[in-house]
Amino acid sequence: MRCLPCGVDVAMFHPGRRDLGFRTRLGLAANQTILLYVGRLSAEKELELLFAAYERLSPHKFVLLIAGDGPDAPSVRRHAAVRPGVRDLGHIESRADLATIYASSDIFVVPGRYETFGIATLEAIACGLPVVGIQDSGTAALVPPRIGKMARAGDAADLAATIAAVAAWSPDSTRAIGHAFAAETFARDIVFDQYFSLYRDLIDWGPARRPPG
């Protein structure tokens, strides 16, 4: 058995998509750290844990953006209505707009312990964001230590502490390292070559396994 990853468009999802006017349009201060979640809004994503962790952080220093849709969207909107610093961006249809949101944020947070291979996580890395995820999850398997840090599952205090620790990292070096990692490992042409190589191996393997006659 051979496991192959998904690929990412590293030309679209790139740190160069960072928009300096993004903060201004959201009314954010230059020194606020933008936390970002992108994905399905549903119970298995453990967004309640993310909200509990955010309550342990200063709303003057951190803002939390939520982009996505799903059955828990009404709950997310209620949180955004009563919690200072939580913003509901809704579903982002345009890939270009989504790339700008990634690149203009500071930390990508994946609070779910049941995550598998996260396309959104890979897009965030390609845009240069460090990742905060959960130990022993698919996120932990995807993200190397130099571009992310994992918190204990179900522990809001540890998730908040991990976010605060990553916020102290150098953003410029993290952007460069993250994009380089995505480009060298998950760029679409690299991944396509792996798939084509597998198909060639299967084609060659097939006749050899076929019984004579």
- In this predicted structure, the answer to whether residue 83 has a pLDDT above a threshold of 90 is no
47 found inside a domain: yes
Q: What is the pLDDT of residue 184?
A: 74
Please indicate, yes or no, if residue 9 is contained in any of the structural domains: no
pLDDT of residue 91: 95
Residue 195 lies in a domain: no
* Single pTM value for the model: 0.87
Q: What separation in angstroms does the CA of 57 have from each of 50, 75, 148?
A: 11, 20, 19
pLDDT exceeds cutoff 90 at 94: yes
Each residue's pLDDT tens digit, 96-125: 999 999 999 999 999 999 988 788 999 999
Q: What phi and psi values does residue 62 have, to the nearest 5 degrees? A: -130, 140
What span, in angstroms and rounded, lies between the C-alpha atoms of 8 and 183? 8
Report the number of distinct structural domains present in the chain.
Answer: 1
71 domain residue, yes or no: yes
pLDDT attached to residue 23: 93
Domain-embedded: residue 179: yes
Instruction: Give the integer Cα–Cα distance in Å for 167 and 50.
Output: 16
Average pLDDT on 36-54 reads 96
Give the model's confidence band at 40: pLDDT under 50 very low, under 70 low, under 90 confident, else very high. very high
CATH of the domain at 70: 3.40.50.2000
Look at residue 122 and tell me if it is in a domain: yes
Q: Each residue of 6-25: pLDDT tens digit?
A: 667 888 999 999 998 999 99
26, pLDDT greater than 60: yes
Residue 213 lies in a domain: no
pLDDT for position 117: 74
Residues above pLDDT 90, as percent of the chain: 64
pLDDT tens, position by position, 158-192: 999 999 999 999 888 888 898 888 877 766 565 55
User: What residues make up the domain containing 108?
Assistant: 15-187
Residues 6+ apart with CB under 8 A from 99: 12, 13, 14, 17, 123, 127
The answer to the question of residue 201 being in a domain is no
Average pLDDT of span 61-79: 94
Total Cβ atoms within 10 A of residue 53: 26
